[in-house]
Structure 1
């Protein structure tokens, strides 16, 4: 069975990572969460004081990029790959609303995207990979055999994200989460470098009224049809 590259793009909180992980496991592929990479860089910026009154000191971040090392390591306890920032597992820290509120400005910095795109391309050079993010099908792997573009209404996405954060014990309001989703949509879609957009040959996938299992089954069948061509 031949190996392909699967690129899953779309808006925040559309469940890209959840479906991508499940798909990679079913196919025996490597899964790469590119959003986690941008979140880890954002955490680095926060921890090093590069945000001043919500304004990112881009020059300070750019100068520090050479010191940032990112790795995905398998977690035996969770049976998932966790991201490590300079040797430290930061999987939990990067999923907070604190990081979510700052990740879009970091992701607009061209030098950040250049560094992470190069890392992502190295990770997927041998195919047999499922990668999700904002620019995988348009920038990272424009030749990917299967491209999906996932979307859902902002309200549906905010509800899912709100429940996820509450389940983790975070103290947030639905209004805060909805505002974050809408603002990230605006920034992701309007940034100059690699804006979020659907690749012309991507399969649009609106999961507003779709459960996880239905999403997975449909996407799994898409993948198998292409793999078996």
Structure 2
């Protein structure tokens, strides 16, 4: 299976710090597919508002920023800051902003060889006809611990209880929004990584994907 690009679209959804991004990058590398972290598109909008000193409830400014998002120029390092993630969750509730970014994400997914996309509404909204849909989750406590270790690995400091409270708030916002709430697609394969290493999650995802490929190829 590990060869030239395959006509394969993989949709990966899940809450913050569930491991979906790391898994998506591993799968994209293994199957030689382009990858898009759709969360970065919302972070780019939030970041634009922050650097211009604009309020996060300014819908018009958010729409302008969404229109200017360039999928080929998403700086993961610059967009990884905590306050940018919080801003992304705030602007993601605007239906017009979501529509603009979803259009860009669908264009990315429509590449001839396929693609891997991860986010919060990929299997339900962006790519409802994806060949493979995965929903990656973990307990809030485990996700908070992962986020803390990530911050500390980059030389930062944070309080575990504050991170946990932030994750719970983001879950409530993402799952409770009226437009495109975070939820598993009806036909998604669930991967609970609470007690699973990234290697185990990768192998579990590969088993699902290879089974779909084998069935499609008549094996």
Scaled by the length of structure 2, what TM-score is found? Answer: 0.90
Match of 1:123 among 108, 127, 130: 108
Superposition RMSD in Å:
1.5
Matching of residues 45-194 of structure 1 within 5 Å: 45-51=49-55, 56-66=57-67, 68-72=68-72, 83=74, 90-125=75-110, 126-194=112-180
**Pair 1:28 & 2:32 matched:** yes
Query: Once the 2 structures are TM-superposed, how far is the Cα of residue 64 of structure 1 from its aligned partner?
Result: 4.5
Query: Once the 2 structures are TM-superposed, how far is the Cα of residue 228 of structure 1 from its aligned partner?
Result: 2.0
Note if contact 1:3-1:227 (Cα within 8 Å) is conserved in structure 2. no
**Pair 1:15 & 2:19 matched:** yes
Compare the two structures and name the one with the higher strand fraction: 1
Query: Once the 2 structures are TM-superposed, how far is the Cα of residue 60 of structure 1 from its aligned partner?
Result: 2.9
Give unmatched runs, 5+ long, in structure 1. 74-82, 84-89
Query: Once the 2 structures are TM-superposed, how far is the Cα of residue 36 of structure 1 from its aligned partner?
Result: 1.1
Whole-Å Cα distance in 1 between the matches of residues 128 and 141 of structure 2? Answer: 30
Whole-Å Cα distance in 2 between the matches of residues 167 and 114 of structure 1? Answer: 35
Give unmatched runs, 5+ long, in structure 2. none
Scaled by the length of structure 1, what TM-score is found? Answer: 0.87
Local SS of the residue matching 2:72: strand
Local SS of the residue matching 1:72: coil
98 and 136 in structure 1: CA distance in 2 versus 1, 3 angstrom threshold: same
- Greater CA deviation, 41-50 or 171-180? 171-180
